[in-house]
Amino acid sequence: MTVSSTSGHRTGVKLGVDVGLARVGLAGCDPQGMLATPIKTLKRDPKRNSDIRLLVREAGERNATQIFVGLPRTMAGGETGSAQMAREYAQLLSSAVQAAGFDVEIRLIDERLSTVSAHRSLHAAGVQGRNHRKVVDQVAAVGILQQAIDMQRSLSMDVGDVVSTGEDSVSAGPNGPGPEESEGPMDPARREGGDE
């Protein structure tokens, strides 16, 4: 594990992941953890998990130390189907990086309304609505990762909830308690935008 003796959190390249029904946005940051930038959008492949394999390969090629998967909680802090989907995806990713022999820590981080914010940012930048779908997942992933690395620098500690391979639970982190079981439809705010 690569931990800075002065910062109290893992240093090195980190990745951010925005999980949608049809696509997965991927972002990365520099080894100093200062700036998140978009990498690519992957097509979801729930049957063969080719997107998971591509993420693992990307993590290996970039020598990533952490991957932050966005956890879309409701504004009240609850969880819906979107959050469960993100948890399951994070578990698959954790198992895959472990099977590949990489020392990459997977963490879930609260990312309420990241896709909505991404659409607003693209609109403000003058990107036409019909072109949002091509990049909105990457922009959302940038938001997830930037939030995580900013919090790490500010708090001088790791943030988010660690995903433990083979377990349903995760440890509580600075963004609140561990999993909160909740049934219900997917958060409409989460589904607004490019995740259909």
Residue 41: pLDDT over 90: yes
Sign of CA dihedral 132, 68, 4, 175: positive
Residue 128: pLDDT over 60: no
CB 170 within 8 A of CB 94: no
- The per-residue pLDDT for 165 is 72
- pLDDT mean over 26-40: 96
The band of 73, judged by pLDDT with boundaries at 50, 70 and 90, is confident
- What is the overall mean pLDDT for the chain? 78
Q: What is the pLDDT of residues 50-72, one digit of tens each?
A: 999 999 999 999 999 999 999 98
pLDDT top residue among 131 and 28: 28
Q: What is the pLDDT of residues 99-110, one digit of tens each?
A: 999 999 999 998
Two tokens at 18? Answer: 């925005």
- pLDDT mean over 6-34: 91
- The per-residue pLDDT for 133 is 61
- pLDDT mean over 144-172: 80
Residue 192: pLDDT over 80: no
Kindly list the distances between the CA atom of residue 75 and the CA atoms of 79, 136, 180, 188, 190, in Å, as whole numbers in the listed order. Answer: 9, 21, 14, 11, 11
What are residue 165's phi and psi, to 5 degrees? -60, 130
- pLDDT mean over 33-58: 96
Rg over CA atoms, the chain: 15
Residue 181: pLDDT over 50: no
- pLDDT mean over 1-13: 67
- The per-residue pLDDT for 59 is 97
- The per-residue pLDDT for 79 is 75
- pLDDT mean over 6-13: 80
